[in-house]
Amino acid sequence: MSDNDEKPNTALTVQQPYSEALRPRNMNDAMELSKMLASSAFVPANLRGKPGDIFAALAYGAELGLAPMQALHNVAVINNKPSLYGDGLVAVCQASPNYEWHEEGVKGEGDERYGYCTVKRRGRPEPVTTKFSVADAKTAGLWKKSGPWTTHPDRMLMSKARGFGLRDSFSDALKGLISSDEAQDYPSKTPAKAEVVTPKVVDAPVVHQAVIDTYSAKAGTNKKEEKS
């Protein structure tokens, strides 16, 4: 083979990642994808059969840089609050070019026991630590609350501190979304029940007995006249 002959191309073809291929390019694509996913068992149970809710999750995910399937499993609306599950919250912050490192854990005893989250954002001279203690949880009416606050109190203390810490340091990356754990602590808003108004029953006018007797007498006279 001469130098002028074209060498065969033996390089592997790099294909577009499947997650990228699934990203909607416009609103029509997003709606079609939402309708398709609504009938799938791979979406969370609370989103099945709800293309509108899926569309909203995809839209939030797109703003955060999440691929469609990541958005469906990390974006949640809890107590009317758009939120991110804990791992999703961390993932969005770690994907930011301003993320350097963070550390979290639980320390202390009794009411002074607290969860903490120390966050180092690139460009800031010092890391920032956020804490959430048992005393804080009691003040907020969360301590011993039915659910995770009873079964996994340490994890909830840490989750609270993480949510506040990451939101304080990466509000630009999170676009205002809060953690799902924090959203669950908001009071649920149930629509007010419609007030049932019972119409007031007005007492019927009292008919005097004399009027009844007079009417009966006239009725009897008329009957006699008809016979005659």
List, in order, residues 6 or more apart from 62 with CB less than 8 Å away: 23, 24, 71
Give tens-digit pLDDT for 206-224: 555 555 565 556 555 555 5
What confidence tier does 108 reach under pLDDT thresholds 50, 70, 90?
very high
The two tokens of residue 211 are 């009027």
Instruction: Provide the Cα torsion 159, 46, 61, 172; round to 10°.
Output: -30
Rg (CA), the chain: 34
What are the domain boundaries of the chain?
Answer: 18-78, 89-173
* Rounded Cα–Cα distance for residues 206 and 191 (Å): 45
The DSSP call for residue 24 is -
Per-residue pLDDT, averaged over 39-45, amounts to 87
